[in-house]
Chains A and B, each alone.
Chain A
Amino acid sequence: MEFITNNLLPLILFTPLLGLLAVMLVPKERVGHVAFLFSLIPLALALVLWTGYDFAEGGFQYVVNARWYPSVNAGFHLGVDGLSVPMVLLTNLLVPLCILASVKVDRIRGFMALFFILQTGTLGVFLALDLLLFFAFYEVGLVPMYFLINQWGSPKGKRELSRGRVMSARQYASFKFMIYTMAAGLGLLLAIQLMGITQGTFSLPELYETWPTTEATFLNFASASTVKTVAFWAFFVAFAIKVPLFPFHTWLPDAHTEAPTAGSMILAGVLLKLGAYGFLRLVIPLFPEQAGEAAPIIAFLGMLSIVLAAYSAYGQTDFKRLVAYSSVNHMGFVVLGLAVVAWAAGGNAVDPTTAAIAGSGAVIQMFNHGLSAAAMFFLVGVVYERAHTRNLEELGGGIWQYAPIYGGLLIFSSMASLGLPGLNGFVGEFAIVRGAWPVFTLMTALSMLGLLMTGAYVLKGIRKVLHGPINPHWADHNMEINAREVVVMAPLVVLMLIIGVWPMSIAKIINAAIVSIFG
């Protein structure tokens, strides 16, 4: 036990690779179950972390700092605070569910192997306290996702490019995802190098102290403020793409729509959080001044994400794309909350309660969106697996009669996603609206249009799938959700309800982190 607590973070980080090893060795028909069992190990460790983290004390805990790359002074530096603990928990909770959701995929060995690599890459980002390490893991997560979309994505579907060229939708989507994230990574890497060279370290706790106030110039031709501004925008664009923020969001509907069910779940559930996490962990603490200046722009883009994505979601005929756009819409609220934190960090006069509410609201929303988006993508996958179409017109409604339990779960998840009070989605949204109102009043008011349209697209989805006269087309399909799938949904449903009714369960730790970082 002591061994576990002493090495908790490296264990969390690398136990998924144990799973990778396991799925390589066992017979093919066992891969699914073995992968699921091994994915429970990181989850158990994450629960140890959740209960073990002392949030009354706050700050980085379970810190590990080993030599890694001494020639550039980069270390294997891990640590967690109240921001990363919920994200680690979310990741390790969703991975077993994703694996359970995909025990029937073909070429399962490769699929599961990629999933475990993806998990390690994602966890690395949440755990890293060294910029170079952060970046390395950031890129590690990218590659498996590319292959998951490219190889296991929906086989049908064409995407029309300009001038009548047509290519396979999943090729297009995986390529777009790759290029976008690589482009984001490029600026990020250069900015990280810039900071490393001028400061002589990549350690985040050190950079928190030195970088915001540094007067260091770069090669004697760029002033400190220029350097910082350039680095800020490089960081900004990188994470804005990842969130994704309007107008960098168009990769998302393609990637999420074409990815396999589990891929969409983990993409929406966790990978998008990397962007928002990057803002909270790096952008705002390292560039408070620049972030403060950019805050109105961030709020504006957040508002556009909320409103435009909500309308776009409403305009979809593909159920999965509708859910994909809803991610952009929900993450827009996260960004609106971040904008308030940025504004406060920039030294503008903000009531500390307001900033704290907005900040914790954003993190709560990240967590909650992880749950509800994963649930929604899973449920789309369930109906797709049976009907072999995601087109709302082809589904044609009238399915609830065949699938009462599925219908109940779909309505429940839709309502969580819609932000119904009493379920998890509302907590974050309310906190963000409350936090943003005194600072960005107009943007908050305009975002309400997005909140309104959220209702419209969510209800559209329900109506087009469930409602309507009993649909004879599906009479000989078994549309009802099966027991394994209910097991996938159960933890999500329970968490959505608990957090909605009793948000203190996660908000305590998040609030403590926000106060200690930005307070």
Chain B
Amino acid sequence: MNLTLLTWLIPVPPLISFLLIVLVVNRSKALSHTVALTSVIISWIMSWIVAFSAIAQGHHYNEHPIHDHVHWLPTGDTFLNMGVAVDNLSAVLLVFVPLCIVAIFLYSVGYSNFGKHLDDHDLPGSPPHHGIEPLYSRFFAYLSLFAGAMLTLVVADNMLLMFMGWEVMGLCSYLLIGFWYGREYDNPKQTPPRIAAIKAFMTTRVADVFMLLGIAYLYAEAGTLNFRDIFFNEDLMYTLTHEPAVIGAFTIAQLIGLLIFIGTVGKSAQFPLHVWLPDAMEGPTPVSAMIHAAAMVSAGIYSTLRVFPLISNGGGHGANLTMDIITFIGAFTALFGATIAVAQYDVKKVLAYSTISQLGFMVAAIGMSAYVAATFHLMTHAFFKALLFMGSGSIIHGVEHGMHDVHEHIDPQDMRNMGGLRHKMPTTFWTFLIGGFALSGFPFVTAGFWSKDEILGDAWYNGHYIVFTVLCIAAFLTAFYTMRQISLTFFGKPRTESAAHAHENVWTITLPLVVLSFFAIFAGFVGVHAKFPVLGELFGKNPFGHWVELALPEAMIPAHFPFDWFPVIMSIVVGVGGLTLGYLIYGRNPMQSADDVDPVKRLLGPIWTMLENKYYVDEFYYAAFIKPAHWIGETLTFKIIDRGIIDGVIHFVASFFWKAGEGSAAVEQVAIDAPPDRMADGVRWTGDAMKYVQTGRIQNYLMYTVIAIAAIGLMFGFLLA
């Protein structure tokens, strides 16, 4: 089988599906989801054929990886090429991304109430109450485009094609977050979807313009954007990593790497550009899973992994400000996100901040040159976070059913309105439990444990003790807020009627949960440290690590670190400890009523309020950036510069000419126009004088006639006489 052709074709089916749904089949909802699902299943099969064929070739694969390209844009005598390639890194993404996408597509069928009748009260642009989503076909069109863009990004052999997939995904996330564009909330503080969509697009765009500069810079310096042509070209890499950049503190490679990393900060919602992600929860839940687990945020990490040879300065040692910045942002975000997640009530928002925090783990890992660990965590996180998001969607859906049955009006996403769902929604409960334990890093049996442990071990071995400590605290908080979430939703007694009447969802929703649970457990065993007692040997001595690191040129592969018990014990302690503490506080004495005060809130007081308000970052941005932008646009550039200064000068000049025109007109009046004007005046004066004659009264006219006849008679008489 021609693997190269197959690689070209991977992103194509969903893109065709998008066009088909938009142009042809959108009137039939069943046909729309059939087209969409079929397309992603085809892509999934093709991806796995390509990926596992590559993996089967083992360690020699990277000597002759799949790659192909065509001329895309003529640039003088040369061409900018576009192409596809599968290296050891993209092969990993080809394994887990399409699988998650298929799960999400299937889940969407159930989530959008397929099979139910269209409720007449439901409007396009608002969430359906009980019937099928009015814009069902459109939803699958968007999802298809999203999937096509993500797969394009994965198989891209160059930075520009990757950026294209990246931006189209940005568009899709905008469209999907704002999918319920007509939704309005009673509470003015709650962000409606259409605003959340703009926020997501604009925040990531801040990052993207930097990334664009980075790409332009790379292209200008390297003369190509093809990853392999750059990273495996030793002479070029030597120049890039040794020449100082336009900003002196960096080498060219470091500055380009930093600019591209800023793109990741936006896309993967790292501090300070994390603000869009929690509001992105306004989108339908499958979208949250897509954006936050399978696709978009993964793309962010993936892009930084891609340019790892640049940011790590060719794997070189010595001062590297870029790596320091990346480590700092990652570690800070990991802790920052985890603290906020502790104080959220919205079941999806907890997961949103959890995502921010987990991505921080990966970013920090990259910053510490833990290339393999970052990739590993990227993969396991995609599985268990997609699972958790879809699980939360299932919970919300269940509560909404309850709401519908008992006609109660509550916030179905607020965990305080839940409780006791364990018995109502058993499949959701067990799968959510697995996902939550994986996220918490429950030792040995969950994937999250192995990948998180890998990051901690790397940090410990390489002497990043501060980062190690910060990440341990973050991991502890992760386990804690996860147990809080599980306890609040599933344990205790239902705190509302709706929760009491919630019930399990249809199979299209639960099947994806079960499939992903499998991977949330077993995906971790491929990356167990080779020297881990018993298990390392049992699971094939870390096949994952040995495969992924070969994506890098040989000289840049970071050294393997020896096995050490201390970080392992630490990750067990923080994982189990956090879960236990969470259970002690929230599980053993569950909240009795939806109005109860959160026990930790009582403890923390004002700190809790600050966490609940996300450190007021949104408020700060509004005052510091958004309001000034309004003012600049409406007042400074438009009213003052354009209308005031420029047009003012023009009008002034014009009025000068106007005056001059009036002056010359005056001269003309006296010198040239006067005689004819006087004549004209004479005529006008006569006319004015005579107009009183015309009164419009018959008797007057008769009288004039009589007078006139008399006068004429007199004249004749006079003349004849």
Interface residues of A (CB under 8 A from B): 161-162, 176, 179, 247, 249-250, 253, 308-309, 311-316, 351-357, 360, 398, 400-401, 404, 408, 411, 415, 420-422, 426-427, 430-431, 433-434, 437-438, 441, 444-445, 448-449, 451-453, 455-457, 459-460, 463, 466-470, 502-504, 507-508, 511-512, 514-515, 519
Contact = CB atoms under 8 A, between A and B. Distances in A.
8 contacts: A250-B642, A356-B76, A360-B74, A437-B220, A459-B198, A467-B125, A469-B183, A519-B76
Contact of B629 (A404, A427, A453, A514): A453
Interface of B: 22, 71-78, 123-126, 160, 163-164, 166-168, 171, 174-175, 178, 181-184, 194-195, 197-198, 201-202, 205-206, 209-210, 212-213, 215-217, 219-220, 223, 246, 629-630, 632-638, 641-643, 646-648, 650-652, 654-655
B624 to A, nearest CB: 15
Given A434-B219, A503-B73, A466 B202 contact: no
A433 B74 contact: no
A448 B198 contact: no
A308 B641 contact: yes
Nearest to B174: A459
Contact of A444 (B216, B638, B641, B655): B216
B212 A250 contact: no
A507 B220 contact: no
A437 B217 contact: yes
Contacts of A430: 160, 212, 215-216
A300 to B, nearest CB: 15
A263 B51 CA distance: 54
A376 B642 CA distance: 23
Given A453-B629, A466-B181, A470-B125, A433 B206 contact: no
Contacts of A514: 76
Contact of A253 (B205, B210, B642): B642
A41 B78 CA distance: 37
A315 B630 contact: yes
Contact of B633 (A312, A356, A431): A312
A468 B194 contact: yes
Contacts of B195: 463
A468 B181 contact: yes
A400 B125 contact: yes
Nearest to B642: A250
A161 B163 contact: no
Residue from the set A179, A253, A448 with the largest chain B CB neighbour count within 10 Å: A448
Contacts of B646: 247, 250
Contacts of B636: 311
Contacts of A315: 630, 632-635, 637-638
Nearest to B632: A311
Contact of B246 (A434, A441, A512): A441
Given A467-B182, A508-B74, A451 B212 contact: yes
Contact of B72 (A162, A353, A468, A503): A503
Contacts of B219: 434
Contact of A400 (B181, B217, B638): B181
Contacts of A448: 209-210, 212-213
Nearest to A454: B205
B637 A420 contact: no
Contacts of A411: 175
B164 A422 contact: yes
Nearest to A317: B634
Residue from the set B164, B633, B636, B647 with the largest chain A CB neighbour count within 10 Å: B633
Contacts of B246: 441
A289 to B, nearest CB: 23
Contact of A431 (B73, B163, B166): B73
A398 B183 CA distance: 10
A515 B167 CA distance: 31
Contacts of A445: 213
Contact of A314 (B181, B184, B220, B629): B629
Contacts of B220: 351, 354, 434, 437-438
Chain A contact residues, majority secondary structure: helix
Contacts of B206: 452
A357 B650 CA distance: 37
A457 B183 CA distance: 22
Contact of A437 (B210, B216, B641, B651): B216
B73 A420 contact: no
B171 A420 contact: yes
A316 B202 contact: no
Nearest to A253: B642
Contacts of B216: 430, 433-434, 437, 444
Contacts of B638: 311-312, 315-316
**Which are the 10 A-B pairs with shortest beta-carbon distances?**
A315-B633, A356-B76, A315-B634, A421-B164, A314-B633, A511-B74, A448-B209, A467-B194, A467-B181, A311-B637
Nearest to A471: B182
Given A315-B633, A445-B213, A468-B182, A421 B163 contact: yes
B517 to A, nearest CB: 36
Contacts of B630: 314-315
B212 A469 contact: no
Given A504-B72, A507-B73, A415 B171 contact: yes
Given A162-B652, A316-B638, A404-B124, A452 B633 contact: no
A438 B219 CA distance: 10
Contacts of A519: 76
A427 B164 contact: no
A165 to B, nearest CB: 9
Contacts of B73: 427, 431, 503-504, 507
Nearest to B182: A469
A454 to B, nearest CB: 9
Contacts of A179: 654
A403 to B, nearest CB: 11
B425 to A, nearest CB: 32
A455 B205 contact: yes
Nearest to A315: B633
A357 to B, nearest CB: 5
Given A360-B75, A507-B73, 7 more contacts: A311-B629, A351-B220, A400-B181, A448-B213, A451-B205, A451-B212, A455-B202
Nearest to A404: B124
B708 to A, nearest CB: 48
Contacts of A404: 124
A353 B633 contact: no
Contacts of A452: 202, 205-206, 209
B122 to A, nearest CB: 11
A311 B22 CA distance: 33
A511 B75 contact: yes
B223 A353 contact: yes
A312 B167 CA distance: 25
Contacts of A421: 160, 163-164, 166-168
A404 B135 CA distance: 10
A16 B77 CA distance: 38
Nearest to B166: A421
A463 B77 contact: no
B647 A250 contact: yes
A450 to B, nearest CB: 9
B194 A463 contact: yes
A247 B647 CA distance: 10
A57 B229 CA distance: 32
A250 B650 contact: yes
Contacts of A408: 22
A460 B213 CA distance: 25
A2 B649 CA distance: 55
Contacts of B78: 353
Contact of A433 (B197, B201, B212, B633): B212
A353 B635 CA distance: 41
A508 B74 CA distance: 6
Nearest to A434: B216
A437 B256 CA distance: 12
Contacts of B181: 400, 466-468
Contacts of B168: 420-422
